[in-house]
Amino acid sequence: MPNLSIRLFSNQIFFSMLKDIKIIKTINPDLQRFESSLDEIIKLYDYFPDKILQYILETKGKKIRPSLTYLSAHLFGKPTISTDTAALIIELMHIASLLHDDVIDEAKLRRKQLTVNSKWDNKTAILTGDFIFSLAMKIAAQTKEYYLFDLISPAVMDLSLGEIYEIKFSNYFEINKEKYFQIIRLKTAALIACCFECGAYSVKAEKNEIETAKKLGEIIGIMFQIKDDMLDYIGKKTGKEIGIDIKDKKITLPLILAYHNMDEKSKKEIENLWENVDERNFQRIISLVVENKGIEKSEEILFQYRSESKQLLEKFSNKKIISTIKKLIEYLTVRDK
């Protein structure tokens, strides 16, 4: 987006997260430009009914994707206007996908506020998602950053495919670790990989550097989703309802790992509880998953990915940015929101 005015962050959660992990200095100017672009969009489309765009865009999320796009650019150079466009478009695509996802999941809360589907209705949420999705494409075309279509569209296709696979496979106890990882690679990791790819591409990194950055993004994306799925069982401050996956009968890593650790009696018990997830059964499912080491074992896998990501980071040379990304990875593994 053009002309960017500076605005202070209003989002305390995001601000404190960045401050916690001390990355604010590195990408603060970048994120300020990013925030200003969102403000401009709000102004430009203030005719959008019921100020829905404002409602969505002013609720700053964790801004993980733009942060990662900028950090990837910093690994190889200095962010450019092209990086700004990439960060903005990816976040808009992400927001559009969340609007649709909340309809699919019948979610009531996101980022500590009512979802569009619950404050308004499903139709409004879908159409607002479509509007934001198309707006992202319009910005890419207007800024003539055509490479973004090449890099982002396959990632967004992966998102949709991941969601479809999830609907198809994740409600049944036959789901295994391999299927789970196939789903999260598509629905979450692909877009985060794309952030790294676009960030690196936007500053003209070498082909092999772009590939390594993309691989790192994929691993970070996988870690992000594993943690997200763990927080569905044990989280308190996510700004979303806890246990929505369980209530939605979505089987994720903690349950897959716990189930394989269970004796036949517990397996039968959890399968029966799954038939009717009322409040009492819900609590018992959480206990069974925790008792059978679903969280512990998920964390072990999370830590394996963390080591892998740190090894990949060693391939780069910008020590300051490497250390910043390591802190972000640390935050992603220990976060409780």
Chain positions contacting ligand FPP, by CB under 6 A: 93, 96-97, 100-101, 104-105, 107, 129, 133, 156, 159-160, 163, 187-188, 228, 240
The listed partner (ligand FPP, Mg ion, none) that binds 88, CB under 5 to 8 Å by sort, is: none
**Structure-token match 């982002």, residue found:** 152
Alpha-carbon torsion (234, 164, 199, 210), positive or negative: positive
**Could you tell me the smallest distance in angstroms from the CB atom of residue 153 to ligand FPP?**
10
Q: How many residues sit close enough to Mg ion to count as binding (CB under 5 A)?
A: 2
Across the chain, where does the E strand assignment appear? Answer: 109-110, 113-114
The listed partner (ligand FPP, Mg ion, none) that binds 133, CB under 5 to 8 Å by sort, is: ligand FPP
The listed partner (ligand FPP, Mg ion, none) that binds 129, CB under 5 to 8 Å by sort, is: ligand FPP
**Could you tell me the smallest distance in angstroms from the CB atom of residue 43 to ligand FPP?**
23
**How many angstroms separate the Cα of 245 from the Cα of each of 213, 227, 300?**
31, 13, 21
The whole-angstrom separation of Cα 325 and Cα 273 is 41
**Could you tell me the smallest distance in angstroms from the CB atom of residue 10 to ligand FPP?**
22
Please report, as a single letter, which amino acid is at residue 83.
Answer: T
Q: Which is nearer to ligand FPP, 241 or 269 (CB)?
A: 241
Listing DSSP states for 124-149 in one string gives HHHHHHHHHHHHHHHHHHHTT-THHH
Site string for Mg ion, 63-102 (x = CB under 5 A): --------------------------------------x-
Q: Do residues 72 and 200 touch, judged by C-beta distance below 8 A?
A: yes
**Could you tell me the smallest distance in angstroms from the CB atom of residue 206 to ligand FPP?**
30
**How many angstroms separate the Cα of 215 from the Cα of each of 152, 158, 261?**
15, 15, 31
Q: Per CB under 5 A, does 228 bind Mg ion?
A: no
**Could you tell me the smallest distance in angstroms from the CB atom of residue 97 to ligand FPP?**
4
CA nearest to 61, candidates 106, 21, 95, 89: 95
Q: Which is nearer to ligand FPP, 86 or 203 (CB)?
A: 86
The whole-angstrom separation of Cα 13 and Cα 335 is 12
Q: Which residues bind Mg ion (CB under 5 A)?
A: 101, 105
